[in-house]
Amino acid sequence: MAETGDTFVTHRFQVELGKARVESVQEVSGLTVELDAIEVTQVTPTGEYIIRKIPGARKGGEVTITRGLDKSSAFTEWIKDTYEKGAINTARQNISVIVVDAENSEQRRWDLSNAWVSRWEGPSLRAGDTSPATEKITIVFEEITSS
């Protein structure tokens, strides 16, 4: 019988942009895989009309990362490649979301291929508020693989 161990906790994770670790990440949401469902109508050898669904093309997806607003130049430059320079070929990067255990050892990994920033949302600023400034980034990707 396989040993399952403890369930992983959601607060122990890392995000990598290419080979660089992304700092100040607070949340990653939207990790999904989706296939088109193709409806096929057929007639059986006995003349019965049936409808079957078969898997179609795998769809790309979106993931949202919320992180503390800081001086991270690598992450900021990556966002600027899309918005200011329009350099989508340069902006396409591979991103990894990694779940780690208490010893900081990698346990699960999702690799997002050809990812780029499609939306950036800055912090809400309010006089008298002492909460940390965050930015929220929506990232589109072409393929997700899991290991």
Mean pLDDT of the chain: 89
pLDDT confidence of residue 61: 92
- Residues linked to residue 59 through DSSP beta bridges, in sequence order: 34
Q: pLDDT at position 1, please? A: 46
- Report, as ranges of residue numbers, the positions in the chain whose pLDDT lies below 50: 1
> Which structure tokens are listed for 68?
């503390």
Q: Which residues contact residue 110 at a Cβ distance below 8 angstroms, ignoring those fewer than 6 apart?
A: 31, 96, 97, 98, 144, 145, 146
With a CB cutoff of 8 Å and minimum separation 6, the contacts of 134 are 26, 66, 67, 68, 69, 123
Query: Can you give the pLDDT at residue 7?
Result: 83
pLDDT recorded at residue 3: 66
What's residue 20's pLDDT? 82
Say if residues 138 and 119 touch (Cβ distance below 8 Å): yes
82 touches 90 (CB < 8 A)? no
List strand residue ranges (DSSP E) for 69-105, in order.
93-100
**End-to-end alpha carbon distance in the chain:** 21
Please report the pLDDT score of residue 71 as a whole number. 84
List, in order of start, the domains of the chain with CATH numbers.
Answer: 13-146 (2.30.110)
